[in-house]
Amino acid sequence: MKITVDHGLCDGLGQCALVAPEVFALDDEERLVVAPEAARGSAGKVAAAARACPVRAISVEGS
């Protein structure tokens, strides 16, 4: 699975982190950090996190 975040779009809203906290988290500056290795086996949750992003900054390829 390849997860891409468009950091130009991402506002650090953190909605993705609420849905899949093991993959998406915010750092101290409320910037998004992604742990793609944690996404293995949770394609459904990652897809749900992508849908939860209000600015559609997350795209997912493969599974």
Partner 1 sequence: MREVVVVGAGLAGVRAGESLRAQGFAGRLTVVSDERELPYDRPPLTKQLLSGTMTEADVRLAGAEDLGARWVRGTAAVGLDRERRRVRLADGAELPYDGVVLAPGAKARAWSGAVPRAGVLTVRGLDDVRRLRAEVDGGAREVVIVGAGFVGVELASSLSGLGVRVTLVEPFGRPLRALGGTVSGVVAEAAGRAGVVLRLGTGVRGFRDDGGRVVAVELVDGSVLPTPLVVVAIGMVPATDWLAESGLALPSGRIHCDERLFARSGGGSGAPDPRVVVAGDAACCDAVRAADGPVALEHWSNAAAQGELAARNLLAGPAAAEPYDHVPSFWTTAFGLRIKSVGLPGTGDRTVAEAGDPAGGAVLEAHYRDGRLVGAVSVEQGRLLSAYARRLRGERMIASGTEPSGT
The correct pick among 5, 25, 38, 60 for binding partner 1 (CB under 8 A) is 25
Burial (Cβ within 10 Å: 0-12, 13-18, ≥19) of residue 50: buried
Tell whether residue 22 is a contact of ligand SF4 (CB under 6 A).
no
Local structure of residue 42 (DSSP, 8 states): -
Query: Contact with ligand SF4 (CB under 6 A): which of 1, 14, 25, 60?
Result: 14
Please choose, from the candidates 52, 58, 55, the residue with its C-alpha nearest in 3D space to the C-alpha of residue 4: 58
Evaluate whether 58 touches 45 at the Cβ level (below 8 Å): no
In this complex, which beta carbon is closest to ligand SF4, that of residue 15 or of residue 42?
15
Judged by CB under 6 A, the residue of 3, 20, 23, 58 near ligand SF4 is 58
**Identity of the residue, 3 or 50, whose beta carbon is nearer to partner 1 in the bound complex:** 50
